[in-house]
Structure 1
Amino acid sequence: MPKVLIIDQSKSMRKTLAERLEYEGFTAETAENDAAAAELCRRGAFDIVLTDRTAAPEAGIPFIVLSADASVATAMEAVRNGAEDYLTKPVDMNRLLQSLRRAAEAADEESAAAAQAPARRARRAKPGRSAEMIGSSPEIGRIRTLIEKVAPCDARVLITGENGSGKELVARQMHELSRRASGPFVEVNCAAIPSELIESELFGHEKGAFTSAIKLRKGKFEQADGGTLFLDEIGDMSLSAQAKVLRALQERKVTRVGSDKDIEVDVRVVAATNKDLREEIRRGNFREDLYHRL
């Protein structure tokens, strides 16, 4: 199992995390601050860092942020710095363990993928993949840089911009630069689906769930399992569908229409809209809790 470095100013938090991780089979060491952490890094290699800062003490080591600050600004700063995940305190240990295992699997896959990189680049260049982002302006350069920073982690992303500004292109390039690149990229245009059908489209339905449900159908969340789900024009989604999407994001589970069985899904959600969602929240058209999840 991976060797984990825990950085936290709270002695009790360091002890609790170390004991739980060692119980789960990890090797854990602790540090009170960045200086102590840097010294430990010089003495030996770590596979991943858990830190209450928004950056890792040493470049090149994957890190997960555990913070008491639930603000979007702090979470975004951590993501820009390359965090694998951002969890708020009190820490959900089940989610933390999932994140640690994903990071460990990603590290193993990275070394295996290095030898296959030429073939993977060739596959990405085939017709049908996303078009190359063109342009040499400083603004395009900043977008490219941000995509490269955000793509490797599993953080959800909300892309905003006018119609025709290239939101889908950004989403596809994020997917192709992520560790989910070999998985599916599933797109849903929320504005093009009638409100009464959106839940079936996203979550699927059982045979006989309604009159026209003549066979079982997997929804977009299930279809995107192991990959990326792109929710385009999410600002046009009905409030009832928003509530179910929020549950799917929180619990990483979906329920098909006509079923009471939960299905676990491993999906990275990237959403896009041409609307001002803060204004939509003020008008009562968009859920504030879903906005912050995205």
Structure 2
Amino acid sequence: MTREVTYRLASVTREKYTFLRELSHKQFDQYVGQIKRLHILQAEGKLFKLIELNYQDLREKIENYRFYKDDSEVFDLGFIYLDSNRMVLNFLSSIRTYLDHTETRLKRKYGEVSSEFQLFKNVTSQCFDSSFAYRFLSKLRNYAQHCGLPAGSISLTSDEHGNTFTLLLERDNLLANFDSWGKTVKEDLKQQKNEFDLMHLIDQKFKLLEYVNKIISDHEYRKHYSDARELLLLMKEVNQESEGAPAVMQISTIGDDYSGASLIIHDFPYEAISRASGIKITVLPPI
């Protein structure tokens, strides 16, 4: 007997799948194309999460170090210095990875003259031109790669308001040990105090990168509004008839024997559908 291929809108749970209605080959291809485009967009957005995670880790570590005591068995100023620099390096490296990958991705996906690529170049240039923190930390990553640890020293102080932990940059050492700051950043550095706060600059840089990422991703998601709205209609249809998660399936069977069926299941990218459509999905059925 020949193998028959059919297509279904289905509901999927951990225990079973339920066929809801048949799809034409054309409908199946259309829905799968929409699902794949949004899955790709959702996956591409995960790269910025590396920056978020490294920033959160660094912020939490700095907060924890505020409560270390000189008489604590775990207090080791040398270790704290190295560990803090490790976290800063992770943060700076993840920024470079995100910016390099995003530039390459947009150029390959849309082309150098595309609105997406030009928007990225314009918004990052604006951040560089308008913010000392943005342009300086871009260069500090290069300094750390070639010359030494980014933070020159740390400061742990106590007063009536509590403990303060500060990562300090040393202006004169930065200028003396690295000659590739560029004219603008070099002049910026000369205007700083001999010791100045690194975390203050990191906080500013992170907020600017959040802005860059939102501008670019919002622009891309708007292009997929119609894809998301069509998939939302399918999700609504499935949710009205079943408690499972929506999916479109390709089923290959021999005759009417479904016991040996071969299935290809395409699940829905909830996060991307929600963001592209502007409709918040608050309850997701379990898979």
TM-score normalised according to structure 2 size: 0.22
TM-score normalised according to structure 1 size: 0.22
Higher RCO (CA-CA < 8 Å; seq separation 6+): 2
- Rg comparison, structure with higher value: 2
